[in-house]
Amino acid sequence: MTVHRRLLDRDPAYRQRREEIENLTLARKRARSRGRTGTTLVPVVVHVVHSNLSQNISAEQVASQIAVLNEDFAGRNADLISVPPVWRDALGNGRIVFDLADRDPSGAATTGITRTSTSTAAFGDDDAVKFAGAGGADAWPADRYLNMWVCHLHDLLGYAQFPGGPAQTDGVVIDYRAFGTIGTAEAPFHLGRSATHEVGHWLNLFHIWGDDGLGCAGTDHVDDTPNQAGPNTGVPGFPRVTCGNAPHGDMFVNFMDYVDDRSMVMFTVGQVERMHAALDAARPSFPVMAPQTDPPSGWVHTDLTLAAGAPDAAGKPVVAIQSDGKLSVLYLGVDHHIHALQAK
C-alpha cells in the first residue's frame, strides 16, 4: 500500500489507470462474470540480487517457490484442510499457471533466473532493486513476464505493484529469507506464502481488512471475504471475531491477511473473479489456454510413459498454441512422463 499511495500522489497517469481498472472490474462484477475460462499462463523471471553468497539463492529454491504459486493459485495446496468448514464453499481456483521463462526478451534460451551482485546491503520499498543503475536488476517487459526480485529487504517480507503502474517497476519483491520453502527460507515465513500474497496484489487483490487501520469501514472490494478490523498475525484460533462479524469472524486463513505462512491457505471465489478481471483489464497479454483432452487439430500427442504401462499422469493436459506457433503442453500437477508431439 505504501507503493500504491506513493504512485497515486506522484503519477496522474497511474491514478487514471487505476480508476479505469476498478471501473472495468466493477462492471464485470455487476454483470456477474465468473471470471476467465480456461487457464492463464504467466511466464516468470526471478531476478536474484545478492550482496553475499547466502543471498544468492539456488535454482532449487526458486523452483520451490514456483511450485507453491502453482498449488496456491490453483487451490491444490494440501493445507486447505485447515480451512474452517464454514468457508469451504468459498474456496477459489484461480486457474493460473506460473512457469519460469525459457526465453529471454531477445529470444535466447534462459533458465528464467537472472543473478546480479550488488554492493547494496539491504533494499527498501523505493524500487531501487528494480534498476541496474541503483544496484538492482532491470525488469523484463511487464507485458510478457511476471518480474520477481529476490533480495535482502530492510524490515519487509515483500511488496508489490498493483496493475496500472509503470512497466519498468511492475512486479513483486520478496526478501530472500521468505522466498520458497528450502535454502534460506526462515520460519514462520518459510512456506512461500509471502510471494503468494504479493502476487495477489499484482493481480489487484487488496488486504482482506480493507486497509483502514483498525476500523471497520474499509473494503477489499470482494463480497465473500468478511469485514475485519485490521490485520491478523501469527497463528489465530477460530473464530477470531471483530467488526461484528460473529459467529465466524475474520477469514484469517486467507492469503491476503498478515498471518504466518502455515495459517494462510486460501483465496475465495470472489477474489478469483477480481484477479481474472485484472488480467482482462490490465494484463491481457498473458494467454488463456483452453483445457482440452486432446491436442489441437494438426497435432498428435502420445504419452510414451503411459503407453509403456506406467501409472497414469497427473491429469488431463492443458494445451495451447502460442502466437509464435509454438505448441505447449502443460499438466496441472507433477508429471514425470515423457511425451511425444508430432505434426499430422
Q: Are 90 and 224 in contact (CB under 8 A)?
A: yes
Taking the C-alpha atoms of residue 294 and residue 297, their distance in angstroms, rounded to an integer, is 9
Q: Is residue 222 part of a domain?
A: no
Per-residue pLDDT, 291 = 57
Question: What is the tens place of the pLDDT at every residue in 9-29?
Answer: 999 999 999 999 999 999 998
Q: Which residue in 60, 71, 186, 198 is the catalytic one?
A: 198
Residue 36: pLDDT band (50, 70, 90) is confident
Residue 115 C-alpha cell reads as 543473478
Q: Which residues contact 12 (CB under 8 A, 6 or more apart)?
A: none
> Does residue 275 sit in the same domain as residue 150?
yes
* Domain membership flag for residue 221: no
One domain for residues 254 and 339: no
- Per-residue confidence (pLDDT) for residue 344, from 0 to 100: 54
Structural domain harbouring 132: 2-210+250-282
In the residue annotation, 198 being an active-site residue is answered as yes
Total tally of structural domains belonging to the chain: 2
Whether 330 maps to a domain, the answer reads yes
With respect to residue 217, please indicate whether it lies within any of the assigned structural domains.
no
Mark whether 87 and 164 lie in a shared domain: yes
Q: Are residues 272 and 329 located together in one domain of the fold?
A: no
> Is residue 225 one of the residues assigned to a domain?
no
